[in-house]
Amino acid sequence: MQSLQKGFIIRFFVVILGMVALALLAVRTFALPPNTFPVGGIFTIKEGDSLGAVAYRLSQEHIIASPEAFKLLMLALGKEKRIAVGEYAFEAPLTLPEVALKLSGSDFGIIQNRVTFPEGYTNRQVAERLTATFPTFDTAQFLELAKDRQGYLFPDTYSFSPQVTPQAVVAELTETFVTRTAALSFADSSRSRQDIIIMASILEREAGTAEEMSIIAGILWKRIDRGMALQVDAPFFFLFGKTSSELTAADLAADSPYNTYRYTGLPPAPIGNPGLAAIEAALHPAESSYLYYLHDASGGVHYGATYEEHLANKKKYLQ
């Protein structure tokens, strides 16, 4: 009897040890990083990717050993619908739970690069900054997609993944414009929305402060209403990439609808992407007696109500 009991106990412990060994093997197989874990690799999750598709690709790229174990863990954690879209860097091997937390946003492992577009930037300047930040960015495609949206790509600081597409950038900047200008009273103005944005894009290069923008907006709208040429240099930066001091007589004589010395009214489209202050100034110009203004060598603005005052300012500040 004792020998039977002893044999039973031995077999029992053998079974237990076997089960423990199998459990450890399962943990190693399903929870520990695969031996071929892609250290330094990047994993991309796109909008609309399902849990099953993500699990399969994680397995194919040797980030996890078992897609089924990953799905079960995500379900157990309640994260099956919280897979965060973006780019993930894997600087070291991760266990299955660590991968699950990372991709559900709990680890904040998404790669993002910040890029700033100053107020007044043209689409080409935006493209150049994107290329400088993201060397593989498709500049030509961006310029093609954005060619009719200059003025409506809101200047701000954005965070994009290294593999960001031109479509995503155009969509993000356009959506930000809509959001940031939603509270502005375009409908209450006698000017069209397009004209306001064109004027705002001019103000970005013609003024330095919100107060200057408002006064100059009043002057330029007044000149338009009187049928006078705007005679501003701002569009020449859009045309030739030149500042006022770089312009030649040939530049000023260029036959272009953007040449406000030759043609009255506003240019046909925005010459850059204005910020909120410029748009608000175009919407709410300051009333003044001024009809002329100029900038001195240090950037200061001097106003004149009459042409004689303007000539006097030229003589005093420019000669």
Residue 27: predicted pLDDT: 47
Question: At 248, is the pLDDT very low, low, confident or very high (cuts 50, 70, 90)?
Answer: confident
Question: At 243, is the pLDDT very low, low, confident or very high (cuts 50, 70, 90)?
Answer: confident
Residue 205: predicted pLDDT: 93
Tell me the domains of the chain and their CATH numbers. Answer: 35-111 (3.30.1490.480), 113-180 (3.30.1490), 186-288 (no CATH)
Residue 107: predicted pLDDT: 57
One-letter amino acid identity for 131?
T
One-letter amino acid identity for 77?
L
Rounded mean pLDDT, 277-291: 96
25 has pLDDT over 80: no
319 has pLDDT over 90: no
Contact residues for 292 (Cβ-Cβ < 8 A; gap 6+): 219, 303, 304, 305, 306, 307, 309, 310, 313
- As a whole-number percent, the residues of the chain with pLDDT over 90 amount to 57
- CA 38/CA 91 separation, integer angstroms: 9
Contact present, 83 and 55 (Cβ < 8 Å): no
- CA 76/CA 96 separation, integer angstroms: 13
Rounded mean pLDDT, 151-159: 95
Contact present, 66 and 29 (Cβ < 8 Å): yes
pLDDT digits (tens, 9 = 90+) for 167-214: 999 999 999 999 999 999 898 999 999 999 999 999 999 998 999 999
The DSSP result for 196-262, as a single string, is HHHHHHHHHHH-SSHHHHHHHHHHHHHHHHTT-----SHHHHHHHS--GGG--HHHHT---TT-TTT
pLDDT digits (tens, 9 = 90+) for 56-78: 999 999 999 889 988 988 888 88
